[in-house]
């Protein structure tokens, strides 16, 4: 009898029921799309942010202060502490090793370029040679295989007119400011000197980064090590890692955490927890987040997620208003029917169950339609914004159906209250 009354109500008022179902389907479709994208937006944006550059700086824990004037490091080459590049494969053995997109070691060497002269006084040029990897294979310990890394992974946004140098050849790219000042062009050979060591370098391209590299020469790390007399060593390391935006929990001191909180922090890809794991593998280093990049990523991601939640709430609120309008009209038209049911002995809970059952039935139908439509909308949004469609998550289906039922219930609460409190005597008398 219960389901017969509900199905009979749908048969007598199909248009209004279809409008309510359509409103719920539209609201849940938008909710499905935004929630689907929101679940993927963290990883997608994190990968997009990696084009901005590395977000972790690794340096020797005990080192001398740099002496840099005009972009040139005048610190003696033999001063300070250096790190061994043979240990770098350990970065891919940390807990969050799959989040380490890439890393690149750097070694700065003050050099003199004798093949070009400064216009004033025909003096030789003094500049910094930055040795690094463009694309280099690193062996990961414990059978981890080979990992290809370098500035191609840590700084994919660096623009080069021409091509990058080969790591195993005497080639280099020169900064755009240095090239303009010295009149250097691609294809030219530079004669460089550092103390008693010298080397010819073939310029393969002009680089523009907006940083100190614009006033320097970038060459393979092996050449910088040979000129400085530091084979197999480097001074600083840039690491690019996919991280979770920082929150209040991530900023707590790990020493003050309970064991459970520490495990939760350690097993979350916060930039602070990844830094700690790197220090555990490389005990002689100091790991510092590059705050300008890390904080910018967190702020943008937080705002994007907040916008998506706002759109979801607005869509569901609009659907609730539509449900409320149709529910109120339905109650006015069925007042006599409700009065008769109560006069025949139907309890308030049963009458309310009939009315609420109709709303939930429309919620299930609207939720299923909205979920299917929302997946298509999420696919289109993902392709247009990120170039990749988000993953289909079946776990969202019960969530969407629950949201649809909640919206239908919230929108019909006032009408449901009126139905429950209705006095059948005046209704049956026609008052």
Report how far residue 81's alpha carbon sits from residue 33's, in angstroms, rounded to the nearest whole number: 52
Dist CA 212 CA 232 (whole Å): 24
DSSP state of 130: E
Quote the CA–CA distance of 173 and 153 in Å, as a whole number: 17
| Predicted pLDDT at 375 | 87
Residue 135 or 72, more confident: 135
Give me the DSSP letters along 258-289.
-HHHHHHHHTS-BHHHHHHHHHHHSTTEEEEE
pLDDT in tens, 309-340: 888 888 888 888 888 877 777 666 666 566 55
What is the distance between the alpha carbons of residues 355 and 339, in angstroms, rounded to a whole number?
13
> What pLDDT does residue 134 have?
95
- 195 within 8 A of 77, measured Cβ to Cβ: yes
As given in the structure block, the two tokens for residue 25 are 């389907």
Q: Check residues 242 and 117 and name the one with the higher pLDDT.
A: 242
54 or 86, higher pLDDT: 86
**Alpha-carbon distances, residue 165 vs 131, 208, 222 (angstroms):** 11, 15, 12
Contact 91, 100 (CB under 8 A): yes
Q: How confident is the model at residue 58 (pLDDT cuts 50, 70, 90)?
A: very high
Number of other residues whose CB lies within 10 A of the CB of residue 179: 23
Q: Assign 310 to helix, strand or coil.
A: helix
Q: What is the pTM of this model?
A: 0.66
**Does 89 have pLDDT greater than 60?**
yes
Query: How many other C-beta atoms lie within 10 A of the C-beta of residue 274?
Result: 28
Q: Which of 276, 225, 241, 204 is nearest to 98 (CA)?
A: 241
Structure tokens belonging to residue 388: 């990749």
Q: What are phi and psi of 133, to 5 degrees?
A: -105, 140
How high does pLDDT run on average in the chain? 80
- CB atoms under 10 Å from CB of 78, counted, come to 10
Q: What is the DSSP letter of 66?
A: P
3-state secondary structure 344-384: CCCCHHHHHHHHHHHHHHHHHHHHHHHHHHHHHHHHHHHHH
The answer to which of 67-71, 167-171, 323-327, 396-400 has the lowest mean pLDDT is 67-71
Backbone dihedral region of 80: left (phi > 0), alpha (psi from -120 to 50 degrees) or beta? left
Q: Please choose, from the candidates 119, 279, 112, the residue with its C-alpha nearest in 3D space to the C-alpha of residue 201.
A: 112
Residue 369, token pair as written in the block: 């339609």
Q: Which two tokens stand for residue 230?
A: 């530091």
Q: Which two tokens stand for residue 234?
A: 């480097």
- Give the per-residue pLDDT at 333: 62
Say which residues have a Cβ less than 8 Å from residue 288's Cβ, sequence separation at least 6. Answer: 56, 57, 59, 275
3-class DSSP state of 220: strand
> What is the H or E stretch that residue 140 is in?
strand 136-140
């Amino acid at each position: 009898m219960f389901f017969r009354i509900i199905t009979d109500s749908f048969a007598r008022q199909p248009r209004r029921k279809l409008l309510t179902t359509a409103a719920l389907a539209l609201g849940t479709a938008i909710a499905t799309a935004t929630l689907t994208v929101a679940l993927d937006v963290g990883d997608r944006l994190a990968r997009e942010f990696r084009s901005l550059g590395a977000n972790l700086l690794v340096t020797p824990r005990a080192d001398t202060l740099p002496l840099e004037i005009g972009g040139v490091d005048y610190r003696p080459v033999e001063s300070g502490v250096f790190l061994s590049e043979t240990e770098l494969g350990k970065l891919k053995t940390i807990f969050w090793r799959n989040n380490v997109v890439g890393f690149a070691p750097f070694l700065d060497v003050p050099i003199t370029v004798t093949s070009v002269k400064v216009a004033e006084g025909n003096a030789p040029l003094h500049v910094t040679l930055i040795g690094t990897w463009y694309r280099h294979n690193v062996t990961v310990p414990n059978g981890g295989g080979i990992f290809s890394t370098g500035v191609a992974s840590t700084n994919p946004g660096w623009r080069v007119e021409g091509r990058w140098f080969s790591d195993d050849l005497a080639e280099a790219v020169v900064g755009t400011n240095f090239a303009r000042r010295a009149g250097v062009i691609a294809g030219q050979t530079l004669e460089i000197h550092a103390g008693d060591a010298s080397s010819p370098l073939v310029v393969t391209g002009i680089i523009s980064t907006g940083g100190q590299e614009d006033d320097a020469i970038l060459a393979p790390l092996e050449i910088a090590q040979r000129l400085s007399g530091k084979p197999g060593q480097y001074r600083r390391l840039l690491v690019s890692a996919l991280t979770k935006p920082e929150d209040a929990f991530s900023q707590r001191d790990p020493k003050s955490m309970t064991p459970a909180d520490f495990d939760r922090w350690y097993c979350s890809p916060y930039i602070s927890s990844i830094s700690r794991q790197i220090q555990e593998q490389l005990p002689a280093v100091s790991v510092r987040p590059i705050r300008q990049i890390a904080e910018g990523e967190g702020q943008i991601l937080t705002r994007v997620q907040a916008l998506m939640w706002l759109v979801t709430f607005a869509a569901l609120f609009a659907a609730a208003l539509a449900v409320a309008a149709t529910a109120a009209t339905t109650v006015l038209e069925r007042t006599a029917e409700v009065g008769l049911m109560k006069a025949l002995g139907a309890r308030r809970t049963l009458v309310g169950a009939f009315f609420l059952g109709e709303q939930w039935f429309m919620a299930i139908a609207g939720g299923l339609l909205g979920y299917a439509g929302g997946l298509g909308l999420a696919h289109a949004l993902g392709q247009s914004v990120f170039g990749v469609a988000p993953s289909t998550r079946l776990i969202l289906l019960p969530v969407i159906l629950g949201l649809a039922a909640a919206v239908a219930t919230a929108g019909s609460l006032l009408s449901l209250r009126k139905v429950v409190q209705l006095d059948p005597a005046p209704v049956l008398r026609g008052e």
